[in-house]
Amino acid sequence: MKRSLGKFFFYLAGWKLKANITDEIKHSVMVAAPHTSNWDFPFALAAFWMMGIDLKYFIKNAYTRGLHGLFFRWTGAIGVNQKKHGNLTDYAIRLLKERKMVVLVPAEGTRKKVDKWRTGFYRIAIEAKVPISLGYLDYAKKEAGIRGVFWPSGDFDQDMAHIEAQYRDIGPKFPENYNPKIY
């Protein structure tokens, strides 16, 4: 059912999906970029459903409560209390060690322009021993997909330069909210 819903949404929006799904992708930490709009959520969700990927993502606890909480949990949301100082990175590592899934991380951490990306996704990949998948939404081309999958080498600067190059030509919904220099 989810796959059909995703295809229908993309059809209505005139979007296409570009992704070669491998086993590596199905057990990875996925960077989601650029993240500049609330529209990123339905487009990303539709893309994941079309790919048949078991997705988990973190969201404010308030969104996982009540009737609307049923929807968000159905889509893979994991509620977190932002006032409680827990470590989401450690939690994501534990989830990935327990079972095969994709943990989605919007590396910018917000829809606003940032000076650099948060880098917890890198630590998650290293410690959970999973690859990093490079998910994207390109509003200019009306395309969603995965730019590639790679295993971090441990050379942070080299790996971040590689990631930055993969996102250089992506068209965000609101370009003024995106900084292509990620680290």
Phi, psi of 28 (to 5 degrees): -155, 170
Averaged in consecutive runs of 10 residues, what is the pLDDT profile of the chain (183 residues)? 96 95 90 91 95 90 92 92 74 93 86 83 96 96 95 96 94 89 81
Sheet holding 77-80, edge to edge: 16-18, 143-150, 132-138, 28-33, 102-105, 55-60, 77-80
Bridging pattern class, strands 55-60 and 102-105: parallel
Instruction: Tell whether 58 is covered by a domain.
Output: no
For the chain, give me the number of helices (H) and strands (E)? 7, 7
Instruction: List residues bridging with 31 in a β-sheet.
Output: 105, 134
Token pair 């910018």 is found at 108
Instruction: Tell whether 11 is covered by a domain.
Output: yes
**Structural domain that includes position 146:** 2-52+80-177
Instruction: Tell whether 90 is covered by a domain.
Output: yes
Express each pLDDT in 145-165 by its tens digit.
Answer: 999 999 999 999 999 999 999
Instruction: Tell whether 106 is covered by a domain.
Output: yes
